Amino acid sequence: MLLKNCRFIVTQNEKREILENKDILIENGKIEEIGKNLSKKDEVVDCNNKVVIPGLINCHTHAGMNVLRGISDDKNLQEWLNEEIWPREKKLNRELVYYGTLFTIGEMLLTGTTSFNDMYFYTENIARAAKKSGIRCFLGSVLFDFFDPSKTDEEIKKGEKEIKKILELKNKRIMPAITPHSIETCSDNLLIKSRELAKKYNLPIHIHLSETEKEVRGCIKRRKRRPLILLDKLGLLKTKFIGAHGIHLDKKEIEILNKNKSFIVYNPCSNAKLASGICPAKELKYLCIGTDSVASNNNLNLFEEMKFGVLLQRLKYKDVSAMSAQRIFDSATINGAMALGVEEEVGRVEVGKKPDLVLINKDNIFLNPDYSIISNLVYSFNGAVSDVIIDGKFVVKNRKILNFELKGVIEKISSFKELF
């Protein structure tokens, strides 16, 4: 495939170059060349009116939950989980999760996300939806023992079984992750065994971390230390560690995260909507970004997330230099790839990388005038991308999803309404 005469290419390479009027040649599932006047006989796509960016990476999702969008908007995290979400999630089944995930993926693709890092139930159904859609993802089956020692081994066994199922798919776009739920729901033993599993299969650990003050207080009371200190002591930071939220972190915890090159996923919208607080993103060297589920956001639009992400840092630190558009765009591209250990493959538009690319119409009102493409993408654009390419194949063309019929999925989702 040849993307001909791209108006702008936001490379995200080391120099953060933005190229103008260049071609991108895609061959053998790789970006083969970027330059002027490249040629190819067939599959030539005119990109004269396109801004090409690396596909965005959403590092914290719960893919099945889109079916619960708007069902409860006015409760704090604990009440919201206990009274609104968990009772309804008990009614979820495999079919619901499959269609819910297709719906979720549809929203991600149409807003420029090409990879996501998920924690949910019925992982094989999420994998089935991901496979159909063509998206890239890391999937974890949520683990918790609620401090009941009789359940720990069972959970780990379940986790390992899910890993094997995903590995058996032999689909390089669908990878497993280890996802213990949080320190509020997992015993030390479950956390240690999760770490061992992550080591055994060389997979990321993805866990909720320091989302509420209550969680921190509870951890100090029960375990005599703060959450991140506990995880460090249990050796979790020696894995590819991804902590979601990371709002209530003290100086010492931030220092440990930075020293260990451990990633925090910043979820600005969800954290604000649930009144949980603002992550000290400015101080975190290893920062990626996520949306959390639509149930607490209420969308998966990473463009909106990037904007709010910058704005909240400026309010928190009362300083416009607390966060820049470039830094948050890095979080949603190269840093997301680093967090998941796939920085050699995706996150940049560079020769040798996999072609996970998003195309945006340059004549979109939000992208003009073009003093700064990055600024327009982060602060102005509403996420309505035109085309999405994953692994060198179009999965969205001119805002139409190619691998499944979105309308049918929305009808299916709507038919589930009575259940809840």
Rounded to the nearest angstrom, the gap between the alpha carbon of residue 182 and the centroid of all alpha carbons in its chain is 18
- Shortest Å distance, C-beta 69 to its own copies: 6
- Shortest Å distance, C-beta 95 to its own copies: 15
- Shortest Å distance, C-beta 88 to its own copies: 11
Instruction: Based on the shown chain and the rule CB under 8 A, indicate whether residue 153 belongs to the binding site for its own copies.
Output: no
Kind of pairing between the strands at 357-361 and 50-54: antiparallel
**Would you give the binding string for its own copies spanning residues 14-33, x where CB under 8 A is met?**
--------------------
Q: What is the DSSP string of 184-212?
A: TT--HHHHHHHHHHHHHHT-EEEEEES-S
Report which of 258, 304, 303 is spatially closest to residue 280, judged by C-alpha positions.
258
**Measuring CA to CA, how many Å separate 271 from each of 67, 129, 290?**
20, 27, 11
Report which of 142, 216, 221 is spatially closest to residue 183, judged by C-alpha positions.
216
Which of 321/398 has CB closer to its own copies?
A: 321
Instruction: Based on the shown chain and the rule CB under 8 A, indicate whether residue 297 belongs to the binding site for its own copies.
Output: yes
**C-beta separation of 171 from 135 below 8 A:** no
Which of 28/369 has CB closer to its own copies?
A: 369
Instruction: Based on the shown chain and the rule CB under 8 A, indicate whether residue 46 belongs to the binding site for its own copies.
Output: no
Instruction: Based on the shown chain and the rule CB under 8 A, indicate whether residue 221 belongs to the binding site for its own copies.
Output: no
CA–CA–CA angle 241, 82, 275 (5° rounding): 65
Residue type, 378: V
Residue 41 makes CB contacts below 8 A (sequence gap 6+) with: none
Which of 148/213 has CB closer to its own copies?
A: 213
- Shortest Å distance, C-beta 177 to its own copies: 26
Instruction: Based on the shown chain and the rule CB under 8 A, indicate whether residue 369 belongs to the binding site for its own copies.
Output: yes
Q: What is the DSSP string of 28-71?
A: TTEEEEEESS---SS-EEE-TTEEEEEPEEEEEE-GGGGGGTTS
Phi, psi of 48 (to 5 degrees): -55, -30
Instruction: Based on the shown chain and the rule CB under 8 A, indicate whether residue 418 belongs to the binding site for its own copies.
Output: no
Q: How far apart are CA 244 and CA 290, in angstroms?
A: 8
Q: How far apart are CA 234 and CA 188, in angstroms?
A: 7
**Would you give the binding string for its own copies spanning residues 59-88, x where CB under 8 A is met?**
--------x-xxx-xxxx------------
> How many residues of this chain bind its own copies (CB under 8 A)?
65
Q: What is the DSSP string of 222-276?
A: HHSS-HHHHHHHTTGGGSEEEEEE--S--HHHHHHHHHTT-EEEE-HHHHHHTT-
Task: Using CB under 8 A, pick the residue from 84, 107, 118, 391 that binds its own copies.
Answer: 107
- Shortest Å distance, C-beta 178 to its own copies: 31
Q: How far apart are CA 169 and CA 83, in angstroms?
A: 36
Instruction: Based on the shown chain and the rule CB under 8 A, indicate whether residue 304 belongs to the binding site for its own copies.
Output: yes
The one segment of 27-35, 266-274, 284-292, 347-355 that binds its own copies by CB under 8 A: 266-274
Task: Using CB under 8 A, pick the residue from 38, 278, 351, 402 that binds its own copies.
Answer: 278
Instruction: Based on the shown chain and the rule CB under 8 A, indicate whether residue 413 belongs to the binding site for its own copies.
Output: yes
Instruction: Based on the shown chain and the rule CB under 8 A, indicate whether residue 134 belongs to the binding site for its own copies.
Output: no
- Residues 380-399 touching its own copies, rule: CB under 8 A, are 380-384
The one segment of 8-16, 143-151, 274-282, 349-357 that binds its own copies by CB under 8 A: 274-282
- Shortest Å distance, C-beta 319 to its own copies: 6
Residues in contact with its own copies by CB under 8 A are 67, 69-71, 73-76, 103, 106-107, 110-111, 269, 272-275, 277-278, 294, 297-299, 301, 304, 307-308, 310-312, 314-315, 317-322, 324-325, 363, 365-366, 368-372, 375-376, 379-384, 406-407, 410, 413-414, 416-417, 420
